[in-house]
Structure 1
Amino acid sequence: MTTDKKLGVIGCGNMGSAIVKRLIAAKIFPASGIFVYDKNTVKCSALGKKYSVRVVNSNAMVMRNADIILLAVKPQQATEVLKDIKKTGGEGKLLISIMAGFPMEKIQKLSGVKNIVRCMPNTPAQIGYGTTVWLATSGVTIADKKLVADILGSFGIGFEVDDEDIIDMATAVSGSGPAYVFHFAQELTEAAVNLGLEPNLAENLVKNTLIGAVQLLDTSQQSATELKAAVTSKGGTTEAALTILRSKNTEKIWEEAIKTAYKRAKTLSKNIGQNNKN
């Protein structure tokens, strides 16, 4: 359903541009109801030309025209943008942040905005298969939460949570998760080539196996554990390979990797807070 509210997008990089594309395709906002700005005028102009959205020349202009602000800049650019929002008077706006590691308390302090939604999407959002965990401050209305859910649904699936710490946990799982999958694909492809397969064939075998396995996991009533067991015949090739993986204690390796990513997310949030005490 198309909303009458106007959307402002600050940041026209890969994620900001992809979200604009998905929102227009889902008809949540008409192109004429989306105002975009980025310091990189080339990116901003290209986005305006491609999707017929309204290009403006400052953060302040976004604020003046929009009811909802999507903040899609890098964390190191955020302080300047949030201070601009405060100068313009953003108290009555709804601010949606997709910045990694930037805590809500700091967003509120720097921007003066009380109604904030902090999101952690991941890169498959660019093709409509994103996974996003999100949290809203207490002042965000039920109607605005519904609109946020629709916005996030335009580029994948969203999960509302009630604790900001879960955002940092999700950063370590779904936020960084695509890189883990790509890393596995890379290593499995290299192993296949080392086994003797031609590189192009190895890459296609791995890619299509991953696609098929994920589709099966998504559509099956069985858990990942059950599906794995169904492939693993006693004394067979799969069991032989999994035995090697277990002997290398891969479960502990994954646990350590995820915990390390989570701790890093907490450290980044803490550092942002310390570096923006004004």
Structure 2
Amino acid sequence: MARPVVLVGCGRLGSAIAEGWLASGAVAAADLIILNPSVKPVMDAARAAGARINPPVDSLKDARAIVLAVKPAKWREASAPLVGVLADDAVIVSVMAAVRGGALSSVFGDRIIGRVMPTTGVARAQGLATVWADSAAGREAAHALFIPVAETVDLAEEGLMDVATAVVGAGPAYFYAFTQALAQAGQAAGLDPEAAQQLARATLKSAAGGLPDEMSLSDAVARVASPGGVTQAGLAVLADNGLTATVTDAIRAATDRSIELSRDVPA
């Protein structure tokens, strides 16, 4: 049996991470420990597959990695019982927004620290995760846990995690909001509500599936928008109404809010 991975917190994101690990085999059920005050559905499934759920704290002494997925305001409370039993070489990986590496080190000492900002798509091994670590070893540990379930992007500076939170963490909501607006516009133009919703949702899925990794975003737009055509007419209206500026303002506001929240989190 390999040294276990401990998932601390099993809310929406923690549950998605556990689901992705189990489905992909990134962490074998027998090597997984989940700590959470209340039992979530994924915890029952993990237990049935061989994971340990809320075992005695001394069971953590051989853990190779601790993944902190609790609410930022509760992280010190959740971490306190762990510190005294963890091995010195246990890697601490946080998926919490707003909790800085320095704060983590103040609790976990000289242990290797990594921060990851994943999307809930990790549950289906279709996530996106930004990674920052204070060392190559921390980055490698984060990669081992998240590359099987997400496309990972390394960040050179921890401060960029706030921007990544605005883009990656909040970005899906922006796409959904645009899709909702697309459906509402279709309905206003005469489609019935059900058809408008169905077409807008299918368009989002189709657009995501039709973007090869090697294709630039500008080329992807040009491939759909023929000069003088229907799509180009709509894009011109979006540009005239400040689409890029509006999105830039949204990212700036979300980044600023992430920074503000970090000041409110127990240091």
Whether the TM-score (by the shorter chain) exceeds 0.5 is yes
In the alignment, is residue 23 of structure 1 matched against residue 17 of structure 2? no
Q: Aligned residue for 1:4?
A: 2
Q: Which runs of 5+ in 2 are unaligned?
A: none
Q: Aligned residue for 2:252?
A: 259
Q: What RMSD over aligned residues (CA atoms) do the two structures have, in Å?
A: 2.3
Once the two structures are superposed, the pairs formed by residues 221-236 of structure 1 within 5 Å of their partners are 221-236=214-229
CA shift in 2, pair 1:236/1:116, >3 Å: same
Once the two structures are superposed, the pairs formed by residues 154-193 of structure 1 within 5 Å of their partners are 154-193=148-187
Specify which of 69, 74, 95 is matched with residue 71 of structure 2: 74
Task: Report how many aligned residue pairs link the two structures.
Answer: 267
Q: Which runs of 5+ in 1 are unaligned?
A: none
The whole-number CA distance in structure 1 between the counterparts of 2:24 and 2:120 is 18
Q: Aligned residue for 1:248?
A: 241
Contact 1:36 1:56 in 2 (8 A): yes
The whole-number CA distance in structure 1 between the counterparts of 2:65 and 2:223 is 48
CA shift in 2, pair 1:101/1:244, >3 Å: same
* Range that drifts further, 165-174 or 49-58: 49-58
Which residue type is aligned with residue 75 of structure 1? P
Which residue type is aligned with residue 22 of structure 1? G
Q: Aligned residue for 1:269?
A: 262
Q: Does the residue aligned with 1:259 lie in a helix, a strand or coil?
A: helix
Shift of 1:47: 4.3
The whole-number CA distance in structure 2 between the counterparts of 1:179 and 1:167 is 18
Q: Aligned residue for 1:98?
A: 95
Q: Aligned residue for 1:239?
A: 232
The whole-number CA distance in structure 2 between the counterparts of 1:190 and 1:166 is 35
Q: Aligned residue for 2:104?
A: 107
The whole-number CA distance in structure 2 between the counterparts of 1:235 and 1:28 is 49
Shift of 1:69: 0.8
The structure carrying a bigger helix percent of its residues is 1
Specify which of 142, 151, 159 is matched with residue 148 of structure 1: 142
The whole-number CA distance in structure 2 between the counterparts of 1:61 and 1:13 is 23
Shift of 1:119: 0.7
User: What's the TM-score, normalizing by structure 2?
Assistant: 0.90
CA shift in 2, pair 1:14/1:127, >3 Å: same
The whole-number CA distance in structure 2 between the counterparts of 1:111 and 1:185 is 43
Contact 2:29 2:49 in 1 (8 A): yes
Q: Does the residue aligned with 1:218 lie in a helix, a strand or coil?
A: coil
Q: Does the residue aligned with 1:217 lie in a helix, a strand or coil?
A: coil
Q: Does the residue aligned with 1:154 lie in a helix, a strand or coil?
A: coil
Structure with more contact order per residue of length (Cα contacts < 8 Å, sep ≥ 6) = 2
Specify which of 201, 224, 246 is matched with residue 207 of structure 1: 201
User: What's the TM-score, normalizing by structure 1?
Assistant: 0.86
Specify which of 36, 39, 42 is matched with residue 38 of structure 1: 36
The whole-number CA distance in structure 2 between the counterparts of 1:118 and 1:112 is 16
Contact 2:3 2:62 in 1 (8 A): no
Deviations 1:26-77 (A, max 9, x none): 333321111111011455752444533111246x345335221111111111
Deviations 1:109-161 (A, max 9, x none): 123352111111112222211111111123x53xx643431311121111222
Which residue type is aligned with residue 32 of structure 1? A
Q: Does the residue aligned with 1:66 lie in a helix, a strand or coil?
A: coil
Shift of 1:249: 1.2
